A = this chain, B = another copy of it.
Amino acid sequence: MLAEIITIGDEILIGQIVDSNSAFIAKQLNRIGISVYQITSVQDDNVHILKALKEAEENADVIIITGGLGPTKDDITKNTLATYFEDTLIQSDAVLQNIESLWEKYVKQELSQLNRDQALVPSKSKVLMNRFGSAPGMWFDKDNKVFVSLPGVPFEMKALVEQEVIPKLSEQFELPFILHKTMLTYGLGESKLAERIELWEDNLSKNFKLAYLPSLGRVRLRLSAKGSHKSEIIVEMEKQVSALLPQIEDIFVGFEEDESIESVIGKQLTLLGKTLAVAESCTGGKIAEQITTKAGASKYFMGSVVSYATAAKIEVLRVDPKVIDTFSVVSVQVAEAMATQVQKLFNTEYGIATTGNAGPTKGDGAAEVGTVCIAIATPEGVYSEQYQLGNHRTKVIQKAVNKAFEMLYKEIFKN
């Protein structure tokens, strides 16, 4: 079973918006065993849309179209669909009722003709009711293939995919079973990791596929299996993962699609009833920001001092100026002093500190661009590392943030 996703809209092609709808739809389809063959973004133009529909029909069994539905653009997509299916538009009373009730409840203005026209749908389509907006979803059956047209507003599209499209597809088609298992690793590059597990990878059976998904010092290994015998696939997946884990034990963080090192640390600290504070220089608040992005951080995160200026390291963190004079502001000694000072200041069990030069030019100290010192203070003591993280400012900052979390992770889980 193959699908193709077509997204319609000039705003995508001029780079005004990032098409995040496709990733959502692709994930949902994959989960029920439908692979996405291609994603195509086309203009608000009937010739182009017709061409994309025709090509998609040749490649795929399920064609999902998003965007191009709305009070101003409606005509193009809906009329083009009517042309494609040699159909005409008729009024759907249910859709008109839905629009009228939405307007009465939320918009509180008179219904315009543009909005009333959104109730027009091709006569051969089944309406998928959009509870959150005026543009309905539409489902077309044609020669054992399915075409679904959805509004482009993300939360309207998502609700329709989850509540209508996925259940209907699962019912209509006999789908293979697909299983994904994603393992997060850190500290070993993509190619080194590939070399290390080469033998294991080469021996995977044909219905298994391994993907390396690298990002700044971390690599996600995604193992996927497909087949008709669900129980066999589950057993085989377990077997393969069990064989792999001992080989990556030292760099393995956890399973699950969206598990980050930060969230694993947060869960563990909450569980242990321990707290954390951060002193940031070159990372400029990004460690604190990354921690507090997730709800629930207040259970273990007390706060942070962004001591960007050297004076702030002395005045606010109360780092001994002699340490700075002796070793320079970017040094493991200053990092360690910052970590223990912030731990004291916020009265926490753990402290993280960063000091470095993210570039593009040399800063307060004499440190080379890319030099970053990171320290971790624990109830048992303090330790630090010096890194060289490259010459790209944004990348140096994000890598330093990642390294800091990795160092803390090791400390928290070492016992």
Contacts and interface: CB of A to CB of B under 8 A. Distances in A.
A405 to B, nearest CB: 14
A211 B30 contact: no
A347 interface: yes
A227 interface: no
B38 A15 contact: no
B73 A194 contact: yes
A51 to B, nearest CB: 9
A192 B304 CA distance: 39
Contact of A19 (B10, B22, B359): B22
A409 interface: no
A292 B360 CA distance: 12
Contact of A35 (B13, B105, B195, B394): B13
B38 A26 contact: no
Interface stretch (A169-177, A233-241, A385-393): A385-393
B289 A289 contact: yes
Given A23-B19, A191-B72, A13 B40 contact: no
A306 interface: yes
Interface stretch (A78-86, A259-267, A279-287): A279-287
A46 to B, nearest CB: 15
A315 B114 contact: no
A214 to B, nearest CB: 7
B36 A38 contact: no
Nearest to A10: B211
A327 interface: no
A394 B155 contact: yes
B27 A23 contact: no
A25 interface: yes
Q: Max chain B CB contacts within 10 Å: which of A26, A108, A307, A311?
A: A26
A12 B26 contact: yes
A312 B370 CA distance: 31
A37 to B, nearest CB: 7
Interface in A315-354: 315-316, 345-347
A360 B294 CA distance: 10
25 contacts: A12-B22, A12-B23, A13-B37, A15-B28, A15-B30, A17-B213, A19-B39, A39-B41, A70-B214, A106-B370, A106-B389, A112-B192, A132-B390, A132-B392, A155-B394, A155-B395, A285-B286, A285-B287, A286-B289, A292-B308, A293-B394, A303-B312, A304-B305, A304-B306, A305-B316
Interface of A: 10-20, 22-30, 35-43, 48, 52, 55, 70-74, 105-109, 112, 114-115, 131-132, 155, 159, 180, 189-192, 194-195, 201, 209, 211-214, 222, 224, 257, 277-278, 280, 284-289, 291-293, 295, 297-298, 301-309, 311-312, 315-316, 345-347, 358-361, 363-364, 370, 388-395, 397
